[in-house]
Structure 1
Amino acid sequence: MIQYLRSLVFVLHIYVMMLVIGVVFAPYAIVSKNGARAACKTYSRYVFWSMRWMVGLKAEVRGEVPEGEVLIASKHQSFLDIMMIFTALPSAKFIMKRSILWTPIIGLYAKRLECVPVDRGKRGAAIAKMVRDVEAGRASPGQLIIYSQGTRVAPGTKAPYKVGTAVLYEQLGQPCVPVATNVGVFWPRTGIMRKPGTAIVEFLPALEEGLDRDTFLSRLEDTVEERSDALMREGGFEPNGVH
């Protein structure tokens, strides 16, 4: 009960701080995408700091963090892995649902960070436009993040890896860095409870460009799932459902 109450206070206060930081940085973000990036990283680091002492949860990033133009294909378990990946990378941008653009505060920052909004069934056209914009200098290069399972997946739950990641990998012609995580063990995709421990995001060795679609998807899924299972066991959760 005490941990639940601490979690409740933590959750409420980080949403208040999202509004506060979003409004304070808004003028800077409107005139500069560096301002938008600074706001999002400031907020994320505030969350990491506050969750340590409020609910006993630490954030740890492992592996070699890429700095050049690469595709990031990550496992997605909760809002926490979004913040950890974004803060670790120098110039991150996400593929996201277009409806997010109309969300107060978040929509503004998503636009300024040059995230790639997509409509259902039209991802290919959106990515092609992004590639053209980067080549023409209308958009800045960076690390493009996609969640290969398409949604948040709870620890111990299996979900297929969608072919869209392979299509994007082919279109971009860039290496792909897989990312594993165990954050859902401590910060679930739904609910209030936040558990003490160490939430980990790990950047894994890159998959080279030029792989055929089936080989790429198979290697990506095997790599991310195997390492994520190991991280979840490290966090005290057995992926097969036995704690």
Structure 2
Amino acid sequence: MLIVRSLLFNVAFYANLVLWLILLIPGALVPRRQFMELVKMWARTSVWLLRVIAGTKVVITGQEKIPAGGALVAAKHQSFLETFALLPLLDDPTYILKRELMWIPFFGWYLAKARCVPIDRKAGSLALVQMTARAKEEAQHGRQIIIFPEGTRRPPGAPPAYKYGVAHLYQNLGFPCVPIAMNSGLYWPRRQFIRRPGTVRIEVQDPIAPGLAREEFFKLVQERIETASNRLLEEGRAELGMGPDSRPETSLSKV
């Protein structure tokens, strides 16, 4: 049944994605805030499909810790799930993302409409300057800037590989940073088509006020995300009947 439910979910998920890509065409003409509400509706339908078809619930706690207005949101990144599941959690979110995503037809146009912040990874230090300027502009308009500090999806339990871009943003934005931990990789493993039934837990941590030294912040944000994520991984492994060192990285088909 796991394979069947996973297959059915993936078909429904991508069909729903294509449907919303079409539905959002006229939506591109409305103001950006209204457009983002439509995008959040897509995110909610995707989470609903995951629960109904795959039996995978998404439980988010700590929402009350998110400050009003502009903020830097630093989230653990273990699967594709959090790229959309975080959207309804925030008032006016936008993402730090690699520039190449902006070139994808329709999808890239919508990213531009949402005023996402692209980064050219080949531009070196200039990329940080450009990214910071754009992110600061958006944050000053009350938006929440989502960044995955490790830059890419990491398997559950893998050693942390945080990059200094998150510390650079924190120092230059002047807004609080909200760390977010999760165990999503156990239920939606990266590069696999399997979706395990159970409860994905996403946990908002206490915000880090602006003003810390770069190294102090860099150590603190890792500590908060990793400590909470490791605890959530233990809970998820217990739910799934996995051993403490098991990683859901070797399974059937990949996506």
TM-score by length of structure 1 reads 0.91
1:113-192 → structure 2 map (5 Å cutoff): 113-120=114-121, 121=124, 122-130=126-134, 133-134=137-138, 140-192=141-193
Alignment RMSD (CA, Å):
2.0
Contact 1:95 1:118 in 2 (8 A): yes
SS at match of 1:230: helix
Q: Report the alpha carbon displacement of residue 215 of structure 1 after superposing the two structures with TM.
A: 0.7
After alignment, is 80-89 or 62-71 more displaced? 62-71
| Cα distance in 2, alignment partners of residues 132 and 233 from structure 1 | 36
Partner of 2:36: 37
SS at match of 1:234: helix
| Cα distance in 2, alignment partners of residues 39 and 208 from structure 1 | 31
Q: Report the alpha carbon displacement of residue 104 of structure 1 after superposing the two structures with TM.
A: 2.4
Partner of 1:197: 198
Moved beyond 3 Å, runs of 4+: 131-135, 237-240
| Cα distance in 2, alignment partners of residues 3 and 216 from structure 1 | 41
Partner of 2:245: 241
| Cα distance in 1, alignment partners of residues 138 and 46 from structure 2 | 32
Percentage of identical aligned residues: 33
Contact 2:33 2:92 in 1 (8 A): no
SS at match of 2:207: coil
* Matched AA of 2:160: A
Q: Report the alpha carbon displacement of residue 239 of structure 1 after superposing the two structures with TM.
A: 8.7
In structure 2, relative to structure 1, the CA distance for the partners of 1:211 and 1:54 (3 Å cut) is: same
Contact 2:74 2:166 in 1 (8 A): yes
Contact 2:58 2:200 in 1 (8 A): yes
SS at match of 1:31: coil
Per-residue displacement from partner, 1:187-228 (whole Å, max 9, x unpaired)? 111111000111111111011111111111111111110000
Contact 1:57 1:186 in 2 (8 A): yes
Partner of 1:23: 22
| Cα distance in 1, alignment partners of residues 136 and 219 from structure 2 | 29
Contact 2:70 2:143 in 1 (8 A): yes
Partner of 1:84: 85
Q: Report the alpha carbon displacement of residue 127 of structure 1 after superposing the two structures with TM.
A: 2.8
1:99 is the counterpart of 2:100: yes
In structure 2, relative to structure 1, the CA distance for the partners of 1:239 and 1:62 (3 Å cut) is: farther
Contact 1:229 1:239 in 2 (8 A): no
Contact 1:36 1:109 in 2 (8 A): no
Unaligned runs of 5+ in 1: none
| Cα distance in 2, alignment partners of residues 4 and 192 from structure 1 | 9
| Cα distance in 2, alignment partners of residues 103 and 70 from structure 1 | 28
| Cα distance in 1, alignment partners of residues 103 and 112 from structure 2 | 10
| Cα distance in 2, alignment partners of residues 110 and 22 from structure 1 | 12
Contact 2:28 2:35 in 1 (8 A): yes
| Cα distance in 2, alignment partners of residues 30 and 213 from structure 1 | 41
SS at match of 1:218: helix
| Cα distance in 2, alignment partners of residues 24 and 134 from structure 1 | 26
1:1-12 → structure 2 map (5 Å cutoff): 2-12=1-11
Per-residue displacement from partner, 1:89-124 (whole Å, max 9, x unpaired)? 010000000110111222122111111011012432
| Cα distance in 1, alignment partners of residues 226 and 40 from structure 2 | 27
Contact 2:76 2:182 in 1 (8 A): yes
Partner of 1:67: 68
Q: Report the alpha carbon displacement of residue 242 of structure 1 after superposing the two structures with TM.
A: 4.6
Per-residue displacement from partner, 1:15-58 (whole Å, max 9, x unpaired)? 11111112112212233213431232111111111111211100
In structure 2, relative to structure 1, the CA distance for the partners of 1:6 and 1:224 (3 Å cut) is: same
| Cα distance in 2, alignment partners of residues 229 and 20 from structure 1 | 36
